[in-house]
Structure 1
Amino acid sequence: MRAVEIQEYGGPEVLKVVETEVPEPGPGQLSIDVAYTGVNFADLKARAEGYRVPALPFVPGLEVSGRVRALGEGVTGLTVGQEVAALTQGGAYADVVVADAVTVFPLPPGVDLRTGATLPTVLPTAYALIHAVGRLQPGETVLVQGAAGGVGTVLGQLASAAGAGAVYGVVSSAAKAEYALEHGYDKVFVTSSTSFAKEVREATDWRGVDLALDPVGGETLRASLASLALFGRLVSFGNASGAEPWQVGQPDLYPLAVSVSGFSILTLAQTAPAELRALTERAFRTVVDGVVSLPVTAEFALEEASEAHCLMGARTSTGKLLLRADRVAGQAENA
């Protein structure tokens, strides 16, 4: 089978298509004939700096859709040939991937394989940020960094559906702002990584926002913290800036009684897989119910993974990027 390997760290050019053995599932696992693979910023960090890479060579990729190929010992509730979406700990840039059964989800009725590949990381992350960690209440205001990205696209829709008083986004270009305004946002700031705090204060009559969601870290996280209202909450769910780990202390929290929390879907998959499963099932229902849609804005063949990384790395993409494993995807399209 084909797989896209990282054999050394570096730019998109280090992604190499290789022929390798088909992996077999172990106990509690299953293998999947991949139809589509989602491209995430974590994949770029894995390629460039070894983020969550246990050893080289390494096949990146955290989410897939496809059909169950084989079941490992002890796996129940799924059948060979069933269409599923899965969260993996890597290995998804391939024709076949192995995943823990607890993070494999049957596709809901009406959700095709192409749409299914957009769901496993983005949708539960956004759902958790709004409902489980951020605990948004009707009438509260929300600020989202990266409002035009995959998670940002879903966050705007979920916050709006949850009755947010206003949903604000931060993006890096006018084109991204236009896109975000079509996906649940009331106002979008095209600004630098730190100057948005003043604009947020002005937009909220100097009150600030109740909930700020930040995947960037560093100075952007500090500016998000400075954008909070009395009793506001900040949730960190990434460190795209690559900045040193941040620290928050009493001087930051006490004056307005604000709080800071964090979320990582990959860590939750390791520490509380059953809770992740329940969270994901609730999140998937928002797609079935028509609350959320996540547009696929670019699709690449598996061997074009480097091109997908170039596009995402340029910070000009919106929505969701996918890789296509032609054999299974083609069968789905012709079914």
Structure 2
Amino acid sequence: MPKAIRVHEYGGPEVMRYEDVTVPEPGPGQIHVRQSAIGVNFIDIYFRSGAYKVPQLPFTPGNEGAGTVVSVGEGVTDFRPGERVAYGSAAGTYAEEVVIQASAAVHLADGVEDATAAAMMLKGLTAEYLLHRTYRVKAGDTILFHAAAGGVGLIACQWAKHLGATVIGTVGSEEKAELARANGCDHVILYRDEDFAARVKEITNGKGVPVVYDGVGRDTFPASLDCISPLGLFVSFGSASGPVDDFSLALLGQKGSLYATRPSLFAHAGKRETLDDMARNLFGVVASGAVTIPVHAQARLADAPQVHTDLASRKTTGATVMIP
């Protein structure tokens, strides 16, 4: 019988159990995939802990992976058995085999390995919409990206540099600072040791930046707003240190008529044509060598509790991939 990680109650990493599961036949609009690599993301922790709720318990975590189509359900014409696919907004991917909505999958380009795809779908597609859709980064822009050595950060900073931007990144340690510099950051700020808002103002000669990308949350707010030039954009796309506390909209006015948004991959990937466009853009920039996907750790699916422990400690850099 195929194995999967099951969560029967919300809690710490120890609530994840490695169990036998029955894989159903794919229903209308679904595909059955035998996975070769599984992506790991901070959002998985939110679901496991109960910070984000699932419709019912028990459940299998995970949104990201890559593998080979085994069979397809009624009405599926885009995919056939034997084809390689990848996905960043599926459900229940901490498993050897998974049945997912065909609408979440894309065909995997020949030049991209399964482990690379599993490591980059959610993070890479997130970087794609942040840089191309939430705010369109262009040559000459100076941007601030928090957690520049994280999974999304390393991809986004390389990509922003490729687009011609000057990239300021924040990190939590000197080791991560070196990694950020090697992956597109022109300026690196150790946000635990320095007043990052003051440093951003110094770097930009008092002007600030048109956009701040923040996947950290509580630890970097509201100081992030002090980095933004008038009419600029605060992009909150994650909360690794905890959620941003509720704040008054008047604060955005006081800080320079700022805009704020909380975008998600699920909203962007809801349209087939948009998802395909995003995937083409991502695969293209990776295939060209302009962006390399840093897979810094591989683990067994059975070791998911330790993987979550390492991720939550924020000691990891780049991407972690689990192999079934």
Q: Structure 1 length as normaliser, TM-score? A: 0.91
Deviation at 1:194, TM superposition (A): 8.8
Deviation at 1:195, TM superposition (A): 3.2
1:167 paired to 2:164: no
Deviation at 1:172, TM superposition (A): 0.8
Is the CA contact 1:216–1:240 (under 8 Å) kept in the aligned structure 2? yes
Q: How does 1:126-275 map to 2 (within 5 A)?
A: 126-164=127-165, 166-192=166-192, 195-218=195-218, 220-243=220-243, 246-247=246-247, 249-253=249-253, 256-269=256-269, 271-275=270-274
Q: How does 1:269-284 map to 2 (within 5 A)?
A: 269=269, 271-284=270-283
Deviation at 1:260, TM superposition (A): 1.8
Q: What one-letter code is carried by the residue in structure 2 that aligns with 1:75?
A: V
The aligned residue for residue 328 of structure 1 is: none
Q: Deviations over 1:122-175 (max 9, x none)?
A: 1111011111111112111010111111100111011101111x2011111111
Alignment root-mean-square deviation, CA: 1.9
Q: How does 1:1-16 map to 2 (within 5 A)?
A: 1-16=2-17
Q: How does 1:35-114 map to 2 (within 5 A)?
A: 35-114=36-115
In terms of mean alpha carbon deviation, does 194-203 or 294-303 score higher?
194-203
Rounded to whole Å, the distance in 2 between the matches of 1:135 and 1:222 is 23
Deviation at 1:42, TM superposition (A): 0.5
The aligned residue for residue 319 of structure 1 is: 318
Q: What one-letter code is carried by the residue in structure 2 that aligns with 1:181?
A: R
The aligned residue for residue 329 of structure 1 is: none
In terms of mean alpha carbon deviation, does 43-52 or 77-86 score higher?
43-52
Q: What one-letter code is carried by the residue in structure 1 that aligns with 2:113?
A: D
Is the CA contact 1:126–1:155 (under 8 Å) kept in the aligned structure 2? yes
Structure 1: segments with no counterpart, 5+ residues: 326-335
Rounded to whole Å, the distance in 1 between the matches of 2:144 and 2:208 is 9
Is the CA contact 1:221–1:236 (under 8 Å) kept in the aligned structure 2? no
Rounded to whole Å, the distance in 1 between the matches of 2:125 and 2:157 is 14
1:305 paired to 2:304: yes
Rounded to whole Å, the distance in 2 between the matches of 1:217 and 1:88 is 22
Q: Structure 2 length as normaliser, TM-score? A: 0.94
Q: What one-letter code is carried by the residue in structure 2 that aligns with 1:174?
A: E
1:287 paired to 2:290: no
Deviation at 1:254, TM superposition (A): 6.0
Q: Deviations over 1:295-334 (max 9, x none)?
A: 1100001101111111111111100001101xxxxxxxxx
CA gap of 1:251–1:115, structure 2 versus 1, over 3 A, is closer
CA gap of 1:294–1:179, structure 2 versus 1, over 3 A, is same
Rounded to whole Å, the distance in 2 between the matches of 1:273 and 1:77 is 11
3-state SS in 2 of match to 1:120: helix
- The sequence identity of aligned pairs, in percent, is 37
Is the CA contact 1:194–1:223 (under 8 Å) kept in the aligned structure 2? no
Deviation at 1:261, TM superposition (A): 2.2
Q: What one-letter code is carried by the residue in structure 2 that aligns with 1:288?
A: A
3-state SS in 1 of match to 2:281: helix
3-state SS in 2 of match to 1:135: coil
3-state SS in 2 of match to 1:234: strand
Deviation at 1:103, TM superposition (A): 1.6
Is the CA contact 1:23–1:96 (under 8 Å) kept in the aligned structure 2? no
Q: What one-letter code is carried by the residue in structure 1 that aligns with 2:308?
A: H
Rounded to whole Å, the distance in 1 between the matches of 2:135 and 2:221 is 15
3-state SS in 2 of match to 1:304: helix
Is the CA contact 2:90–2:104 (under 8 Å) kept in the aligned structure 1? no
Q: Deviations over 1:89-116 (max 9, x none)?
A: 4210101112211221111121111111
Q: What one-letter code is carried by the residue in structure 1 that aligns with 2:110?
A: P
In terms of mean alpha carbon deviation, does 106-115 or 235-244 score higher?
235-244
In terms of mean alpha carbon deviation, does 80-89 or 152-161 score higher?
80-89
Deviation at 1:245, TM superposition (A): 5.0
Rounded to whole Å, the distance in 1 between the matches of 2:62 and 2:54 is 11
Q: Deviations over 1:216-252 (max 9, x none)?
A: 2235232111101233222111233333553452442
3-state SS in 2 of match to 1:117: helix
Rounded to whole Å, the distance in 2 between the matches of 1:25 and 1:274 is 23
Rounded to whole Å, the distance in 2 between the matches of 1:221 and 1:155 is 20
Rounded to whole Å, the distance in 1 between the matches of 2:77 and 2:236 is 35
Structure 2: segments with no counterpart, 5+ residues: none
Q: What one-letter code is carried by the residue in structure 2 that aligns with 1:208?
A: G
